[in-house]
Structure 1
Amino acid sequence: MICVSLGRTRHRMMLAEHQALAQRGAELVELRLDWLSRAPELQRLLKDRPTPVICTVRRPQDGGRWRGSEEERQTILRQAIVSGVEYVDLELDAAEKIRRYGKTKRIVSFHDFQGTPENLEEIHAQLAAKDADIVKVVTTAQSPLDCVRLLKLARSAKVPTIAFCMGEIGLISRILCGRFGSPFTYTTFSADRVLAPGQIVFDQMKNLYRYDRITTATRIFGVIADPVAHSYSPVIHNAAFQHDGLDAVYIPMRVPADQLTATLKAYGDLGVEGYSVTIPHKEAVLTAAQFREPIAEEIGASNTLFRDQNGNWHAANTDYEAAMGSLRAGLKEKGDADLSGKRCLILGAGGVAKAIGLGLIKAGAIVTVASRTSKRGAALAAQLGCQSIGWENRGAGFIDVLVNCTPVGMAPNVDQSPYAGNWLREGTLVFDTIYNPENTLLIKEARERLCLTVSGLEMFIQQAAAQYEHFVGRPAPVDVMRDALRRAMSAAH
């Protein structure tokens, strides 16, 4: 079950949002009474409540806003119990002083906003001993391994236990905790009012991740990156799963660079079957695979990691074919899809630049690399066997194809371009690998100067479609993925 936390300073707004949540399908709402600017009017809040309720009055040391005395706080909690509220949330010390009464169930909780203690089992036992119907242990993930510890705690507990981690690293545990036995997870009413680090919006948990449909049989996939919050991959992959009727979920997973190996092992033990891989893991992830596709080895980077039926991990690079297909499609508009002999300038020296550069070299193109970091540009050029130029000289030569592999122009910095508009020549093919926004400033200026253009959106969709086929062994619903991405990007802006 999904519990939505409501924190408003006015009773009127808390009541209105409670009604709105019920209409959107919410089944359980937590009333954060500590957010109210004046003493809670419990009769008003509870009389005609449209869903079951958890009453919570959280102190500052527990991550709340309560400004009154401890005696007043406990009085409110007792009044909520006498009023017959479905659940009341009690910290360890309050649980010792507030007795059970009526049918109200007791959630005895522990929160750590700094990290994840070593003695989780001991803390859990202390909470369970305080006449708990449900134990709640919520910590802050400093490592993906903290998420694994909390999920395993929920799975092994004899008393029903809500257990997950806060923070961006902890998102996987919020989405999967029900699979491991948690009675419910917590979300927020809107992105503008997050009551705890890492909370996501109710509609996302319900409709994007389909939390209530996740079971022990649900297949798990995700994108590993650092950072990862900006990724649209969950939108398109989950849309594809839903369209195809597959029991699967795709989750954003923030994994720090120095924790990749340990995380892959631990998440594999949780049942994760495949990953999209992006910055900063594309090169390091190759070592995690027993089998590597030749093109991934040649590029020295992988954007896809998937497990076969025998449990072996495979590394692939779907950027390569997606990029080359996008380039050839762009050239077809000119009636010439042959890259042989074309003078191509690549801006950037990262993993995508390497994949595209290798593809262009194999196609017989004449490639030049320009990077904002001259050493990286020179190193990539040496690997590809082509030339490099200084970033300041990128607009000096005659080119047939321009490929931007830098993040310059990506949202929110949409007023920037890596290549001045007056350097563009009519008929040049301009390929911007950025997909958000679809029409970058570089693409707009290229069209104004009658260049051929290819946006990064199509490459992003094609590489994701190839990943999907690796993950589930069937062709991806490309149109569904494309439409889902465009809707999500439009809603974000």
Structure 2
Amino acid sequence: MICVSVGRTRHKYTIAEHRYLAEQGVQLVELRLDFIGRSVNLSRLLDERPCPVVVTCRRREDGGRWQRSEEERLMLLRGAIAMGVEYVDLEGDIAASIPRYGQTKRIVSHHDFVQTPDNLEELHQHLAAQEADIVKIATMANTVDDVLRMMELARNAKLPTIAICMGDIGTPTRILAGRLGAPFTYATYSADRRLAPGQLNWREMKETYRYDSITPETQLFGVVADPVAHSHSPVIHNAALAHQEIDARYLPFRVPAEDLETFIEACPQLGVRGLSVTIPHKEAALDLMTRAEAAATGIGAINTIVFDGEERLGYNTDYRAAMECLLEAMRAAEGDEQPLTGKSALVLGAGGAARAVAWGLRQKGAKVLVTSRTAERARQLASDIDGTAIPWEDRHGPRVDLLVNATPVGMHPDLDSTPFRGDLLNPDCVVFETIYNPERTLLIKDARAAGCQTITGVEMFVRQAAYQYRLFTDRQPPIELMREVLKTATNPVRLGGQISHAEPGPAEFGHSGASE
């Protein structure tokens, strides 16, 4: 079950949002009384509540907004219990001062917005001893080990426990809470009004991750990156899995570089069967594989891992996808079955995607120039593939048949930047953009205006994801569905000239700017 947190500054907005969520099928709502800016009227909020509630009134030191006296706060919590609310949230240090009454279940909680303490088991025992029906521990994850320890605590708990790591590193603990035994997990009404770091919105939890149907038998896949919140891989992979009715979920795993080995070693224990690998881990992950395909070894980077028993198998689907896109485009332009042979290409960038494209081009007989804002990386890549490195400031000089952007320049939200001047584009050149968000980067717009043939990052992204999907599931992917889902995800609704990812809802909700 998903508990949706409501934190609004006025009673009427709180009531309206509560009613709307119940109409949408939400079964449990957390009412954050500490957000209400004036004297709280419990009867107005609770007498005709449309679905069960958790009543919470959080102090500032626990991440809340309560500004009045502690005595008044405790009176509100006692009053909610007297009115028979379904759940009340009590911090561990005040739970003993509020007696059990009626049928209200007690959530005894601890929050730490800085770290995940070493003594999780001891902390859990202390909270459980305060007449807890449910123990809730929410702490900030700073390392992968914090997440692993929190999940182990939840898995071994004898009392119903909600064990959450906050922040992007901790997102899997929210999505897998039910699988680990939690009676419910928390989500926010919309992405614009998160009440805790790393909190997902309820539609995402319900529709993208299908939270309520995750079981211990559900297969797990995911994307490992740092950062990872911007990735659209979970959206397209989960849509494909749902479409084909496969009992599997694809999760975002934010893993700092120093934690990569720890995370990959823990994946079998977590039940993770396969991973997409992206920035900044593509090259480092190769060294952690027990076996890798020849292309991945030649490129020096992987973007896909499959766990098979004790084996960690590394693949590079970026290479396959890029070559498919380029061969189709160049063949259409040249009418040649080997359209890349003898052609000249300039690759902008020297990271994992650049390595895949540059290596593939050399395998197909192209002459490859490499340039990067980090000159040493460009020289190293050029040396590895038998290409030529040129200084970044000289990138506009060579006249080439193919221009590849494998840098992040022009990626959302940096929409007004381009790695190559539009007025210097050769109209006979094919321009290949690896950025998929947005699909029409400034480079693509300039290239089309110059008369160049273009390949957008959407095509490469969908094709590499389709290869990954086959490796993960041994099923043919629904490529058209994946393409449409990605295009929808990267073209958010624009309201009043502003891009908005907010959930739709009644106009009378207003906007509180609430955040924790």
What's the TM-score once normalised by structure 1's chain length?
0.98
Could you tell me how far apart the structure 1 residues matched to 2:295 and 2:41 are?
Answer: 65
Corresponding residue for residue 331 of structure 2 = 332
Q: Name the structure 2 match of 1:408.
A: 409
What secondary structure, in the 3-state scheme, does the structure 2 residue paired with 1:38 have? coil
Runs of 4+ in 1 over 2 A off after TM superposition: none
CA distance, structure 2, for counterparts of residue 158 and residue 180 of structure 1: 11
Contact preservation (8 Å) 1:148, 1:267: no
Q: Which has the higher contact order (CA 8 A, sep 6+)?
A: 2
Query: Do structure 1's residue 220 and structure 2's residue 213 form an aligned pair?
Result: no
Instruction: Specify the code of the residue in structure 2 equivalent to 1:202.
Output: W
Report the Cα distance in structure 2 between the residues aligned to 1:332 and 1:46, rounded to whole angstroms: 67
Amino acid at match of 1:424: L
Match of 1:322 in 2: 321
Matched with 2:136 is 136
Q: CA deviation at 1:388?
A: 1.5
In structure 1, how many angstroms separate the alpha carbons of the residues matched to 2:82 and 2:215?
36
**Which amino acid is the alignment partner of residue 440 of structure 1?**
T
Aligned partner letter, 1:329? E
Cα distance between partner residues in 1 of 2:298 and 2:398: 29
Cα distance in 1 for residues equivalent to 2:50 and 2:239: 30
Match of 2:347 in 1: 346
Residues 88, 105 of structure 1: 8 Å contact kept? yes
The superposition leaves residues 361-391 of structure 1 with CA deviations (integer Å, 9 ceiling, x where unpaired) of: 1111111112112222111111111112111
Quote the offset at 1:358 in angstroms. 1.1
- Is the CA contact 2:96–2:130 (under 8 Å) kept in the aligned structure 1? yes
d(CA) in 2 for partners of 1:379, 1:321: 22
Residue type matched to 2:324 in 1? G
Check conservation: 1:160, 1:183, Cα contact below 8 A.
yes
SS at match of 2:34: helix
Give the Cα–Cα distance (whole angstroms) in 2 for the partners of residues 426 and 158 of structure 1. 68
Residue 479 of structure 2: aligned partner: 478
Offset, 1:138? 1.1
> What is the match of residue 38 of structure 2?
38
Question: Aligned to 1:170, what secondary structure does the other structure show?
Answer: helix
Structure 2 distance, partners of 1:276, 1:457, is 16
Q: What is the CA-CA distance between 1:444 and the residue it aligns to?
A: 1.1
- CA–CA distance in 2 between the matches of 1:110 and 1:416? 45
Counterpart residue number, 1:385 = 386
3-state secondary structure, aligned to 2:268: helix
Structure 1: which 5+ residue stretches go unaligned? none
User: Following superposition of structure 1 onto structure 2, how do residues 79-228 of structure 1 map, counting pairs within 5 Å?
Assistant: 79-228=79-228
SS of 1:486's equivalent in the other structure is helix
Separation (CA, whole Å) in 2 of partners of 1:344 and 1:117: 52
Counterpart amino acid of 1:223?
A: V
Looking at structure 1, the residues matched to 368 and 135 of structure 2 have their Cα atoms a distance apart, in angstroms, of 61
Q: 1:145–1:266: 8 Å Cα contact kept in structure 2?
A: no
Match of 1:452 in 2: 453
After TM superposition, the structure 1 stretch with the greater mean CA deviation from structure 2, 425-434 or 455-464, is: 425-434
- The superposition leaves residues 21-44 of structure 1 with CA deviations (integer Å, 9 ceiling, x where unpaired) of 112221100000011011211111
Residue deviations 1:269-305 (CA, integer Å, cap 9, x gap):
1111110001111111122222211111111110000
Counterpart of 1:53 in structure 2 is 53
Deviation at 1:477, TM superposition (A): 0.8
Deviates more, 1:232-241 or 1:283-292: 283-292
| Equivalenced residues, count | 492
Aligned amino acid, residue 413 of structure 2: P
Alpha-carbon distance, 1:268 to partner: 2.3
Q: Is contact 1:148-1:173 (8 Å) kept?
A: no
Q: Which AA in structure 2 matches 1:426? A: P
Tell me, in whole angstroms, the C-alpha distance in 1 between the residues paired with 2:310 and 2:382. 37
Does the residue aligned with 1:55 lie in a helix, a strand or coil? strand
| 1:47-66: CA deviation from partner (whole Å, max 9, x where unpaired) | 11111000011101111111
Report the counterpart of residue 71 of structure 2 in structure 1.
71
Residue 265 of structure 1: aligned partner:
265
| 281-290 or 127-136, which deviates more | 281-290
Superposed counterparts of 1:421-432, under 5 Å: 421-432=422-433
- Structure 2 residue identity aligned to 1:377: A
Contact between 1:403 and 1:431, CA under 8 Å: does it hold in 2?
yes
CA deviations 1:335-360 (Å, max 9, x no partner) are: 43510111111111111111111111
| Partner amino acid, structure 1, of 2:374 | T
State TM-score, norm by structure 2. Answer: 0.94
SS at match of 1:435: coil
Q: Is the 8 A contact 2:268 2:307 kept in 1?
A: no
Report the Cα distance in structure 2 between the residues aligned to 1:208 and 1:372, rounded to whole angstroms. 37
Instruction: Give the counterpart letter for 1:244 in structure 2.
Output: Q
Q: Provide the residue aligned with 2:512 in structure 1.
A: none
Residue 423 of structure 1 and its aligned partner are, at CA, apart by 1.4
- What is the CA-CA distance between 1:397 and the residue it aligns to? 1.9
Give the whole-Å Cα distance in 1 for the aligned partners of 2:486 and 2:65: 38
Q: How does 1:355-370 map onto structure 2 within 5 Å?
A: 355-370=356-371
Identity of aligned residues (%): 54
Matches within 5 A, 1:225-240: 225-240=225-240
The 10-residue stretch of structure 1 (140-149 or 217-226) with the greater mean CA deviation from structure 2: 140-149
Q: What whole-Å deviation, never above 9, does each CA across 1:165-215 have from its counterpart, x for those lacking one? A: 001100011111110101111111111211111111111011111111111
SS in 2 for 1:180: coil
Q: Partners of 1:352 and 1:266 in 2: how far apart? A: 26
Deviations 1:120-167 (A, max 9, x none): 111111111111111111111111121121122112111111111001
Q: Tell me, what secondary structure is at the counterpart of 2:29? A: strand
Q: CA deviation at 1:332?
A: 3.0
1:418 aligns with 2:429: no
Deviation of 1:311 (Å): 4.1
**What SS class does the counterpart of residue 333 from structure 1 fall into?**
helix
| Cα distance between partner residues in 2 of 1:70 and 1:99 | 17
Structure 2: distance between partners of 1:2 and 1:333: 51
Give me the CA root mean square deviation.
1.1
The AA in structure 1 aligned to 2:148 is V
